[in-house]
Structure 1
Amino acid sequence: MGRKKVLAVIHTVTYGKRLLDVLSLLEADFRLQVVFTAPPHDFGDGVPAFLARLGSAVLPWDQAVRMTFDLALAAGPRGVQYIDAPLITLPHGANYLKRVTGGPHAGVAGLRRQDLLPGGRLPAAVGVPHQADLRELAGNCPEALPLAHVIGDPVHDRITASLPLRPAYRRALGLSEGQKLVVAVSTWGAHSAFGRFDALLPRLIGELPAARFRTALLVHPNVWAGHGAYQVRSWLARCAQQGIGIVPPEADWRSILIAADWIIGDHGSVTLYGTLTGAPMLLAASPEQEINPTSPAAALAAHAPALSPTHPLADQLDYAAREYRHEEYAPIRSRITSEPGRFNRNMRRLMYGLLGMGQPAHEPVTVPLPEPPPLTVWAPVRGEASA
């Protein structure tokens, strides 16, 4: 039986996680064979282990670029001009939040010409999450506008579909009755919250009574890849010894975000997705120079309370809980996607259209997120080897 071949291009763990939601739309179709490849990337160290856990068929990059495929998917631009296939490009996070300033690569990450036309080559389709993104696309790279499809955001849809399971996620994490969960979130880069963790971590350890609070740290996979897992765990060892959950880069963070009572974040995608959960927020970092001024990250930075270095942390959390109004964040949440709940439908239609095949005769269901492991799984005691 002849099968059409679909190539998933996995540059980093973050990109890989995004594509797994997309590839789930091709499950149970015996007409298709999905294979993976990993181009060279500065933050690609965790990709081989990520693909090994999937048990996926992996083609070496130098072999993949010599083959022909019926469809290719990528959440990043590097090297994809060498793939012989109709290519769909997707953002790897929420919207287009970050901008690069200065030099030849200045612009909004994901909407620059080199992002949309890698190697000067037009892809078959450019997937964007929101109708408003078309205006920025037209201004940054008008050649790509005819190829743009407003498809929505898979993470938005998985989180919103899973919100009713919040009590189950909290039980799975091991939270006792009355305990509150603080989730500290960081993107990557010099101006991220992680760049200020040396000041925040002692406060998480020393100012939040263990009887009332539990804490989890969600650090961007690029931090782990850039510094090395050993170094990150070494920096965070004291936190782990104090029972703080250090969520590894391969874990699914979305159910943990849903379980949170507070989120301490920055200008990254995970913090923005946190607006879907109803948890009060404090921003530990919101560098104006790195934020796309037309993005929902800019609106969040202008609205959410900023973490104070001088006031007691527990008091600030209580303040955020009193003053936070979930409905006030509705305009920010609405900028994540203009196709809420419809990513699976739109994306599957786009993929099968490019494959020249009829879709499976059933609705593509948005599956709720699985329960997370207990927080103690991610807090190794002193002397314990980290997996």
Structure 2
Amino acid sequence: MSGESTDSALVQRGQWSTVQDCKQVLVIAHTVTYAQRLREVFDLLEADLRIQVVFTAAPHAFGDGVPQYLHSLGIVTVPWEQAVRREFDLALAAGSRGVHEVRAPVVRLSHGAGHIKLLRNAGSLGPGEERPPGMMSRQHLMREGSVVPAAVAFAHDSDLEVLSRSCPEALPFAHVVGDPCYDRIVAGRPRRDVYRRALGLGEGQRLVVVPSTWGPASTFGRLDALLPQLLHQLPAQDYRVALLAHPNIWAGHGGWQINGWLAGCRRRGIAVVPPEADWQGLLIAADWIVGDHGSLTAYGSLTDATLLLTSGTRRDISAASPTARLAAVAPVVSPLHPLDEQLHYAAERRTAGQYDEAAALLSSAPGQFHQRMRTLLYRLLELGEPACAPAVTPVPEPPSLTVWEAAAPGARR
């Protein structure tokens, strides 16, 4: 059987298509985190009969769970090997791995709150060259002397200043479009009470959300230092706790292992949020966010929650990132004092505008992401935009915390 005959109908333009003459857009989902961010983009195209959106799960070390996540949205994927053999009119990616193989103009965007983590492999840098954020480096934007993406979408004007030093060759392809999570969280804040009721918070109960990025310097990498405080120092009748572990943690260690490690947390009433869940409603509903240097902690600066940081090294964090600004103003949790006392101390000491500088670095185009991004996509597709504003769905109501507090599927009781 020839390779041609095995290709999915989703990547064909010919006789098998019911809707003909569509522009074809490839969505490249490397990880669950990338796929969640890309959803903000491909949803802008879903209702246009002139466009066929095709999805593929690209190879990645943390790619476990991507096909299942996409399937939960009703999405059928085509194998990466087929996707790179076909030509598309446009491709969307939130990462750089393998995108040079795609036969289409690529739009690259960030997958988090600004550009937080510095380039891990600094061996390619010249003498005296500063270590840039990883996703803004030549390693991630160029191949064989040429810039790979046809467009690179940024959240903030200040990103262009960093890019001018880290990879000036990419500046002609840079576009400031804002941040979708910023816009959704700000729009969802008036519905805070709705989210709290959906979570099942009782009268007088307070919600503590503990987000963790991935890696050894993350909260999860040092969870043994924080768990005793969460398990033994917060009275269950007064506090509900939700733990948000980065999808890369689940993909890197496997769901069975993560559920095993956290089974004791669930038994003690801590909600373990699955990696595919929408986390924005949780942040909006929180009274306190106890986080590390990850994106979710930075997005917490947009909410009514009081922020506390877990201790840990910040040497791999960009000084220009929202996280760096937050680290300068948010108090740090200590293992030497009762956690409930620290929560209330931080809330009492919080001042008006304490997180404003960090929040301001998340987007320089508040409320404009979906319009700016759609305009960019349609320009690259050489199509006129629909004669209506982009449809932006509100942050969905989360399930009750009891759903995430229950034992994981397959866990022994």
Please, what TM-score do these two structures have when normalized by structure 2? Answer: 0.91
CA distance in 2 between partners of 1:214 and 1:122 (Å): 46
1:286-337 Cα distance to aligned partner (Å, 9 max, x none): 4221110121211111110000110110000001110112412111100001
Which residue does 2:283 correspond to in 1? 257
1:107 to 125, 132, 138: 132
Which residue of structure 2 lines up, in the alignment, with residue 352 of structure 1?
378
Mapped to 2, the partners of 1:349 and 1:382 lie a distance apart of: 42
Displacement of 1:201 after TM fit?
1.3
How many Å separate the matches in 2 of 1:97 and 1:3?
38
Deviations 1:72-94 (A, max 9, x none): 00000000001111110001101
Q: Mark the CA change 1:203 to 1:366 in structure 2 (over 3 Å): closer, same or farther.
A: same
Letter in 1 for 2:275: P
Shift, 1:115, TM fit: 1.4
Find the counterpart in structure 2 of residue 245 from structure 1: 271
Query: Secondary structure of the equivalent of 1:290?
Result: coil
Which residue is equivalent to 2:49?
Answer: 30
* Alpha carbons 2:154, 2:175 under 8 Å: kept: yes
Distance of 1:174 and 1:86 partners within structure 2 = 46
- Could you list the runs of 5+ residues in structure 1 that have no partner in the other structure? none
Query: In the TM superposition, what whole-angstrom CA distance separates every residue of 1:20-65 from its partner, at most 9, and x where no partner exists?
Result: 0111111211111111011110000111211221221311001000
Matched residues in 1 for 2:354 and 2:240: separation?
27
1:1-387 equivalent positions in 2, closer than 5 A: 1-101=20-120, 103-104=122-123, 107-118=132-143, 120-381=146-407, 385=411
Counterpart secondary structure, 2:210: strand
SS of match in other structure, 1:196 = helix
Name the Cα RMSD after superposition.
1.5
Report deviation, 1:102: 5.4
Change (3 A) 1:79 1:381: closer
User: Which residue pairs with 2:12 in the alignment?
Assistant: none
Instruction: Indicate the SS of the match to 2:220.
Output: helix
What CA deviation, in whole Å up to 9, does each residue of 1:180-202 have, x standing for no partner?
Answer: 00001100001011112112112
Paired residues in the alignment total 386
Q: Deviations over 1:184-226 (max 9, x none)?
A: 1100001011112112112111100011000000010000000
> Could you state the TM-score of these two structures normalised by the residue count of structure 1?
0.97
Cα distance change on mapping 1:68 and 1:241 into 2, 3 Å: same
Q: 1: CA distance between counterparts of 2:339 and 2:63?
A: 36
Q: RCO greater where, 1 or 2, for CA within 8 Å and sep 6 or more?
A: 1
- State the Cα distance separating 1:382 from its structure 2 match: 8.6
Q: Which moved more, 1:198-207 or 1:180-189?
A: 198-207
Q: Which has the larger radius of gyration?
A: 2
Report the 3-state secondary structure (helix = DSSP H, G, I; strand = E; otherwise coil) of the residue aligned with 1:29: coil
Contact 2:259-2:408 within 8 A present in 1 as well: no
Distance in 1 separating the partners of 2:257 and 2:238: 30
> Could you say if the C-alpha distance between residues 381 and 140 of structure 1 is closer, same or farther in structure 2, counting changes exceeding 3 Å?
closer
In structure 2, C-alpha distance between the alignment counterparts of 1:317 and 1:152, rounded to whole Å: 32
Distance in 2 between residues matched to 1:140 and 1:132, nearest whole Å? 13
Structure 1 Cα separation of the partners of residues 51 and 344 of structure 2: 52
On the 8 A contact 1:101/1:107 being kept in 2, the answer is no
Give 1:278 shift.
2.1
